[in-house]
Structure 1
Amino acid sequence: MAKTILIVEDEQNIVDILSFNLSREGYQTLEALDGPTGLQLALEQNPDLILLDLMLPGMDGFEVCRRVRESGSSTPILMLTAREEEADKVLGLELGADDYITKPFSVRELLARVKANIRRVSMAANANQEAAPAAKPDGDTLRLGRVSIDRSRATVSKDGQPLDLTQREYDLICFLAAQPGKVFSREALMEHVWNYEGYVGDVRAVDVAVRRLREKIEDDPASPRFIVTKRGMGYFFAG
C-alpha cells in the first residue's frame, strides 16, 4: 500500500512541486494551505509523514507540531523553513519534529529525507512485530549498570523504572548502548540513527535529541553520566 504524505504549506506552487515529485515516487499526498486544516488532516487521516511549513496562516507550524505530538501521534514530522535563526529550528525539534530542511531545498534531498524517515518507522514496526513475546528472561535485554533496554518490548528502564521515550530517543540510546564506550560523531549518528546515508548537512538535530534524552535518563542532565560528550568528537554511552 502506498505511503501517504501530508503537505502543510501555504505556497501553492511549492505544494504543487512537492505533490508532483512525491507522486512520481509512488506516494499518495494530502495537502493543506493553512495550519488548522493541516492539524485536522494530521489527526484524522494519520499520514505516514508530515511535511510542515513553519509560517502558516491560522496556526503556525510550531503549534501544529505541538498539538500533533500532544495527541500521542509519533508520525515523522519534517519541518520546512525559510528561517535561518537557529532558535527556531531547535524549537521545532524540541516540540517533536524529527528534522527540518531549509528553503530553498533540492527536491532530491527532500525525497531522500522522506524515504529515510518512513524507512526508520517501518524498520521499528517490523522489529517490534518480530520480537518474541515469550523470550527468556534477560534473553533480549541489554543491561548496562542502572539502565536496561528490553528490545523485545522496545522499552528502556533506569533503576527499574520505565522511561517515556520517543521512537527517536529509543533508537538513539539503543544504538549508543549497543557499543558502550565507542564514540560516534554527529554525522555518524545521522547516518545510523536518522538513516541519512552520507549525511554532510546540519547536525544540530542530534544535539537536540541528545539533550532531550539526557533530560529523561540522567540524574543531572548538566553533568551527564550515561550519554557523554567527547569534546570535538561526538557522543558515547558510558553506562
Structure 2
Amino acid sequence: METTILVIEDDAAVRQGVVDALEYGGYRTLQAADGVSGLELALRASYRLLLLDLVMPGRDGFAVLESLKRQRPGQPVIILSARGEENDRVKGLRLGADDYVMKPFSVRELLARVEAVLRRTCERLAPSETHAIPGGTVDLAGGVVHFTDGEQVAMSDREASLLRYFLGSAGRVVSRAEILRHVWGLDPARTETRTLDMHVMHLRGKLRDRDQSVLVTVRGKGWRLNL
C-alpha cells in the first residue's frame, strides 16, 4: 500500500515542487492551498504524514497544527517554513510537530526528513511484538494470547492490529475516528462504526477483560488501554 502524504502550502509553485518530489520518492499525495481547506482535509482524510506551511491565508500553520493535534493527537507533522526564528521553531515543536524544515530545501533533504519521521512514528506506533497483559502475554506477530493457566486464544489480523495500535498509544484515549483512519484506513465521516464496537467487544473477550478494566471505554471520546 502506498504511503499518503498531505501537503498544505499556499504558494502554488512551492506546493507543486513538494508534491513532485514526494511522488518522485514513491509517495501518494493530497494537497490544499490554504489553512481553512487544509484543516478540513487534514481532519477527514486518511494519510500518514502532513507537511505544513506556516504563513497561509485563512488560518496560519500554527492554528492548523493546534486544531489538528486536539482532534488527531497521534498525527505526524513536518512544518515547512521560511521563518527560521528560534521562537517559531520552538512553538511548532511544542505544538506537536515532529520536525521543522527550513525553506529553501533540496529534494534529497526533504525526502530524508520525510523518511526519518515516518520511520520514527512507525516505531512509535509499533511496540514490541510480545507484551505482558493481566494474566498472561500477547504475541502480536503470531496473533495469539497466552495465559498463565495454559490457555491460548487466537486473534484475527484485525484484532491484533487494533491491539497493536492501543499498545502504541501509551495509555492515552484513542478515538473512533483515529482507529478508523490508522487501523482500518477508512474515512470516519463515511463509515459505520458498529463494526469497530464489535471488534472492541471481541478483543475484550480474547483478553478476558470481563469488567472492561483493561480496555476502558471513555464515554464520548473513545477507548484507553490500561496495563
- TM-score tier by shorter-chain length is 0.5 to 0.7
Looking at structure 2, the residues matched to 60 and 54 of structure 1 have their Cα atoms a distance apart, in angstroms, of: 5
Change (3 A) 1:55 1:124: same
Instruction: Report the counterpart of residue 121 of structure 2 in structure 1.
Output: 121
Query: How many Å separate the matches in 2 of 1:72 and 1:21?
Result: 26
Amino acid at match of 1:101: V
The residue matched to 1:26 in structure 2 has which SS? coil
Q: Label 1:134 to 1:88 Cα distance change in 2 as closer, same or farther (>3 A).
A: closer
Equivalent AA in structure 1 for residue 71 of structure 2: S
Q: Match of 2:29?
A: 29
Aligned to 1:132: 131
Deviation of 1:109 (Å): 0.8
Q: Which residue of 1 aligns with 2:17?
A: 17
Question: Contact 2:8/2:33 (CA < 8 Å) preserved in 1?
Answer: yes
Once the two structures are superposed, what CA deviation does each residue of 1:10-61 show, in whole Å capped at 9, x if it has no partner? 1111111111111111111011110011111111013200000000110000
Greater mean deviation of Cα atoms: 69-78 or 32-41: 69-78
Structure 2 distance, partners of 1:44, 1:133, is 34
Q: Does 1:109 align with 2:109?
A: yes
1:93 aligns with 2:113: no
Gaps of 5+ in 2: 138-165, 174-227
Q: Residue 6 of structure 2 aligns to a residue in which SS? A: strand
8 A contact 2:124–2:168 mirrored in 1: no
- 1:137 Cα deviation from its structure 2 partner: 8.0
SS at match of 2:26: coil
**Counterpart for residue 159 of structure 1:** none
Give the TM-score normalised by structure 1.
0.55
Amino acid at match of 1:77: V
In 1, the alpha carbon distance for the partners of 2:169 and 2:124 equals 12
Identity %: 43
TM-score under structure 2 normalisation?
0.58
Per-residue deviation, 1:4: 0.6
For residues 129-163 of structure 1, give each alpha carbon's deviation from its aligned partner in whole angstroms, at most 9, with x where no partner exists: x233548789xxxxxxxxxxxxx94587xxxxx7x
- Output one character per residue of 1:172-206: Cα deviation in whole Å (capped at 9) or x when no partner: xxxxxxxxxxxxxxxxxxxxxxxxxxxxxxxxxxx
Taking the aligned partners of 2:51 and 2:169, their CA distance within structure 1 comes to 28
Structure 1 residues 1-239: aligned runs within 5 Å: 1-127=1-127, 130-134=129-133, 153=167
**C-alpha distance in 2 between matches for 1:153 and 1:122:** 13
Are the equivalent residues in 2 in contact too, given 1:131–1:153 (CA < 8 A)? no
How many pairs were matched up?
A: 146
Give ranges in structure 1 of 5+ residues lacking alignment.
139-151, 157-161, 166-239
| Letter matched to residue 92 of structure 2 | G
From the superposition, tell whether residues 21 and 70 of structure 1 become closer, same or farther in structure 2 (CA, over 3 Å). Answer: same
Q: Distance in 1 between matches of 2:169 and 2:118?
A: 21
**Any conservation in 1 of the 2:126–2:168 contact (CA below 8 Å)?**
no
SS in 1 for 2:68: helix
- What's the offset of the Cα at 1:72? 3.1
